[in-house]
Amino acid sequence: MDTLSLVKPGEQYLQQIAGYRQEFLDADSSMDGCGPLRRFENPMDWLLQIEAMSHLETLPDDKVLSTQFLCVRSEDNRLVGMIQVRHYFNDYLEKYAGHIGYSVRPSERRKGYASWMLREVLPYCRSLGLDKVLVACLDTNPASRKVILSNGGIYESTAHEPDKDVNLERYWITL
């Protein structure tokens, strides 16, 4: 497997973040674990938003504290995935999305990157004082289900998210 690193987003990645976003839009694919990236054409605006979401004093009222990581392949410094850790729940996260969201750019899938990202972020979750984390995936996404199960996920339930009309499988991973 390629050598990967989880890094905090920074200005040096702005062009790659824009390309990452565009690849998802072109593929009409869900940008899970990217925070509000879909809404931001300018990657600097996204970077400012996720930075605000990482500090209590700048946290928008409708958000929870979260930490955003980029997954970068060392050999070519390519952004291949993103993973976000939400430090606690609001009503929506508790019912549907969970503590962790992740995605791998469409051209880099099926290489084990998502499993690696999830495994590598779990110690960070422990450092936040969490003893277990909730991770959810669409019931139509067997690849994501496999990622969660390979990292110790235990199925709890499936929840119907009415606004998007999707079913989300909910899994707990004990840390």
Asked if the model's pLDDT at residue 37 lies above 90, the reply is yes
- Tokens 């946290």 label which residue? 59
Q: What is the DSSP letter of 98?
A: B
Mean pLDDT rounded to a whole number for the chain? 96
- Please name the amino acid found at residue 27: A
Residue 145 pLDDT: 97
Q: Which residues pair with 171 in a beta bridge?
A: 135, 155
Describe the chain by its helix, strand, coil percentages, rounded to 5. Answer: 40, 30, 35
Chain segment 52-108, per-residue pLDDT in tens: 999 999 998 889 999 999 999 999 999 999 999 999 999 999 999 999 999 999 999
Asked if the model's pLDDT at residue 1 lies above 80, the reply is no
Chain segment 112-130, per-residue pLDDT in tens: 999 999 999 999 999 999 9
Q: Burial letters for 119-158: b for 16+ Cβ neighbours within 10 Å, e otherwise?
A: ebbbeebeeeebeebbbbbbeebeebbebbeebebeeeee
